[in-house]
Chain A
Amino acid sequence: MNDPNEIHDYLMGRLAPERAEQIEQRILTDDDFHEEVEIMEEEMLDRYAQGRIPEEDRLLFERHFLASPLRKQKLTFALALQTKIDSIKNKPAAFTARLPALYPYTLAACGLALVALGFISYRLSTQLQQHRSQTALLARQIEGMRKTAATAASYPNYPADRARDLAFQPLLVAKLSPGGLRGTGLRRISIPDGVRAVQFALPVPKTVQGNLLVELLNDSGAVITSMHHIERQLLGGQTVAIVPIPTEYMKTGNYFLRVTSEESPTIKFRYPFQVNSGASTQ
């Protein structure tokens, strides 16, 4: 049986682990059920794009459901589709009234005027709709940030003031490659205004053992901040270190992350990158 509420709760990360595993088994072994889950995923994205997610769900939706760049990409598509549908809905209806018998020149002039008016009306309604969608999205984001701030202080094992700060920060995800000479082949990361934390994925050779020390250094080699005891994780066949770094440490300029094995401190890797802070695109 497909319970839409349960599928919804699964996608929101609200199900007990045992039940979530049962659902995952069904996703993998039952094609019809898999499609049901995908349809629910689309409906949830559409609801968010239309601003119809209940307030009590918004924070969880943004933190859990939209945690991956993949889901954000799906949201971008849902927003584009919604804008398109809205613009079509707001198109003026076709002019179908019967025209009285008028002189041909008068008729032609009226026709031209109507076409022009119709065009202007369509353009204006489309622009208005786009502005409304944009404004609504902004309002939702501000409200989401406000709510996040209110609850962020409850994050476990994290200083309350830092958690509160981080709660306001949308997250950017970036994968870096080790090596590279200074100034050449730099991975460029554009950080839009308002995005103030970057989660880095740093591939390290599988032969490296133990936990890692990750340091952020500027172009002159000065250490800006460091994180100890970072565990290695397997990701897409690679061993990676995942580290979130607030962008307050990264203004426009060149940086590199240095990863050192805590077991064998002589083993070090560099991950150079360039930050363009305050950029409008990623």
Chain B
Amino acid sequence: MADWTITQEAFDRLLSWLDPDRTRAGERYESIRRKLVLIFASRGFPFPEDMADECINRVIQKLPEIMGDYAGAPEFYFVGVSRNIIHEWLRKQQPIELPVLPPISPEREKNLACLDHCLAQLSAISREIAIEYYQHNKRAKIDHRAALARRLGLACGTLRLRAHRIRQTLEKCVVECTHEQAAGVV
């Protein structure tokens, strides 16, 4: 592939292809990137975020050729490009796959401090869900979640999604907090 860098104009072209409304286009872009990261991580690749950016770069590069005739949701085009990237990586992968064991990290203490900090920033109801939803195992967990849903007046499926979104907010906050700590901001 020839040397190529993204220009603001090329990026704007991608956003307008995703949605004429700039805000919605930005949200759709973030959603697509998150999905790509999940896909590449799920294939066991070591750099899923970089691979997602590579996929987006290739789509941006192709856009002037395809956007006039392309019909259908842009996500389908990303599907094709992501497959190409996966196949390229699988072809080139090293013969040995090194096993990965998570090191016990002293960062965990920092994470706990950040978790307290981020929990305190949630609303009382979100904090309760974040702590209560993930308690217990097996049968006790199911019963506990059903009781929590009843107490909050929510359907079990709604509570499940809400807990997931709160967890994502919390995780994002903890990651930012630990990065700030490492940079000496906090």
Contact = CB atoms under 8 A, between A and B. Distances in A.
A128 to B, nearest CB: 16
Given A39-B160, A62-B102, A13 B42 contact: yes
Interface residues of A, number: 87
A141 B99 CA distance: 12
Nearest to A20: B43
Interface stretch (B11-19, B29-37, B62-70): B29-37
A161 interface: no
Max chain B CB contacts within 10 Å: which of A27, A66, A145, A242? A27
Contacts of B83: 21, 24
Interface in A105-152: 134, 137-138, 141, 144-145, 148, 152
Contacts of A28: 32, 35-36, 39, 75-76, 78-79, 82
Nearest to A232: B92
19 contacts: A11-B42, A28-B39, A34-B34, A38-B38, A42-B167, A63-B44, A63-B97, A66-B100, A68-B45, A75-B102, A76-B102, A80-B108, A81-B167, A82-B134, A83-B108, A141-B104, A171-B100, A235-B47, A244-B94
A51 to B, nearest CB: 11
A67 B44 contact: yes
Interface of A: 10-11, 13, 20-21, 24-25, 27-29, 31, 34-35, 37-39, 41-42, 46, 50, 52, 59, 62-77, 79-85, 88-89, 134, 137-138, 141, 144-145, 148, 152, 155-158, 163, 166-167, 169-171, 173, 192, 194-195, 197, 199, 201, 205-207, 231, 233-238, 242, 244, 280-282
A145 B96 CA distance: 17
Closest 5 interchain pairs by CB?
A: A236-B50, A80-B111, A236-B53, A157-B95, A170-B101
Contacts of B88: 233-234
A68 B96 contact: no
B98 A197 contact: yes
B107 interface: yes
A63 B99 contact: yes
A34 B35 contact: yes
A163 B98 CA distance: 9
Given A29-B76, A35-B164, A42-B164, A145 B46 contact: no
Contacts of A63: 44, 97, 99-100
Given A70-B41, A282-B103, 15 more contacts: A34-B35, A37-B38, A38-B164, A46-B134, A70-B37, A77-B170, A85-B135, A141-B101, A155-B95, A155-B96, A192-B103, A205-B3, A238-B50, A242-B94, A282-B105
Contacts of B42: 10-11, 13, 37, 41
A145 B100 CA distance: 10
B95 to A, nearest CB: 4
A79 B134 contact: no
Given A38-B38, A84-B131, A66 B92 contact: no
Nearest to A149: B99
A210 to B, nearest CB: 13
A13 B43 CA distance: 6
A237 B48 contact: no
Given A24-B79, A80-B108, A88 B50 contact: no
B76 A158 contact: no
A15 B43 CA distance: 10
B85 to A, nearest CB: 7
